[in-house]
Amino acid sequence: MNASRLLASAWRSLTRSKLRSFLMMLGVIVGIASLTALASVGEATRQETMRQFKRMLGTFDTLTIRPGAGSTRGMPSLGAVEPSLKFDDGPAIVAGVRGVKRVALVQQAFDLDVSYRDETAVPLVLGVSPNWADVRGEAVASGEHLSDDDDRTLARVAVIGSDVAQTLFHGEEPLGKVIRIADVPFQVKGVMAPRGAGPGGVSLDNMLVIPVSTSAKRLFNRDYLTTLVVQLEDANESDRVADDVRAVLRERHRIIPPAEDDFTVSSPRATLAQITSVGTMLSKVVTGVAVIATLIGGAVIMSLMLIGVSERRREIGLRRAIGATRRDVLRQFLVEAALIAVVGGAIGIVVGAGGATIGALLQKLPPAYEWQIIGAAFAISLAVGILFGLYPAWKAANVDPIEALRS
């Protein structure tokens, strides 16, 4: 019997018992749909997490250095950090560590009023070195970023985020206007391009930047930093560069073992890996459940096919009597099992992809599909059908035709 006739015969047998065929498919549908949906939602979440971190950090080829020993949580403010990071630490890292492209200097505060006429905002105020925008990949929607001349001359100029522009100016052109930061006048030089929300839904546009020399001497009156952002020439060397940075800073800060560092070096890649590892572990657990559901579906296929073999003994006996071999019967029942699994797997993929799309839209995420995992799920469904169909097919092939016709 050729392949097309074999498939047609298997399909006719399945359509004669529609309810039983559907019940055999159901376990496979549930397992494959779960696997497809989980993989797709997990991929959409991972991509969105990457986008949010990219918006927040600007780039992943950096190291962040903050004052204080141990893990530093949240964003530090000048009023709540140790005065351990100095302005000279940045140039010393560039000069003393191989693989460092540049270092941006940052001072920041969260509790300063920023006003224009009768409007007031309380954004994140950053004093930054001129290379900060290049390190973070920041773009301006209008105007221009801070320059070396601004930093050298202690210029009172500011580049504001889009949220600050909206709060203070309500659609009015902000360029050239004078705002007051803690009652110190600054002229708006530029407006940063919107970046949206970061992890946790916090707006990344409710901020403004001024030259770090100006912030240190004309606003904050502090000679230490809250952050150093080290940009690497090769992101794959972040571990080695981090070790070298620690060595340079320990020497500069005269830290002798076993004394703790008075700074913390962290990598965006490491932070992102910690966050995504939680989702990965959960995904593995639920994927295991989906695979178990698929295997249970395979067991259902085997059980119902064994019942089908008992009910179709006369059919099998008649086929054997008119010349069908044991191999022919074995192949037909194997094809039926594989067809059940393939159709069930295809339905499961469609249902899972639809569920993943709805779930992503409800979470306001762009849909994403892990086609590699979906392809693997389809292959699993086929393998489950063949594996659990072997025994019923063997039983059918070994039915005695004479006894079957007498029954």
Looking at the chain, how many residues does it have? Answer: 407
Determine the pLDDT at residue 405: 63
Neighbours of 56 (CB within 10 A): 17
Q: What's the number of CA atoms in the CB half-sphere (13 Å) around residue 174?
A: 32
- Give tens-digit pLDDT for 134-178: 888 888 999 999 999 999 999 999 999 999 999 999 989 999 999
In sequence order, what are the beta bridge partners of 209?
Answer: 126, 159
CB 241 within 8 Å of CB 99: yes
- For the chain, the domains span 3-54+273-406, 69-261
The larger pLDDT score, comparing residue 108 to residue 306, is at 108
- Give tens-digit pLDDT for 106-134: 999 988 999 999 999 999 999 999 999 98
The larger pLDDT score, comparing residue 401 to residue 155, is at 155
The larger pLDDT score, comparing residue 194 to residue 298, is at 194
Backbone angles phi, psi at 236, to 5 degrees: -70, -10
Tokens of 325: 């071999």
Determine the pLDDT at residue 161: 94
- pLDDT reading at 372 higher than 80: no
- pLDDT reading at 83 higher than 60: yes
CA–CA separation, 204 and 193 (whole Å): 10
CA–CA separation, 252 and 363 (whole Å): 48
Residue type, 76: P
Residues 6+ apart with CB under 8 A from 236: none
- pLDDT reading at 252 higher than 80: yes
Backbone angles phi, psi at 178, to 5 degrees: -105, 120
CA–CA separation, 122 and 114 (whole Å): 6
The larger pLDDT score, comparing residue 360 to residue 190, is at 190
- pLDDT reading at 73 higher than 70: no
Alpha carbon separation from 375 to 35, 39, 370 (Å, rounded): 11, 11, 9
Tokens of 338: 């594989």
Residue 320's pLDDT band (cuts 50, 70, 90): confident
Determine the pLDDT at residue 283: 62
CB 85 within 8 Å of CB 225: yes
- The structure's pTM equals 0.60
The larger pLDDT score, comparing residue 327 to residue 49, is at 327
- pLDDT reading at 407 higher than 70: no
CB 48 within 8 Å of CB 365: yes
CA–CA separation, 382 and 388 (whole Å): 10
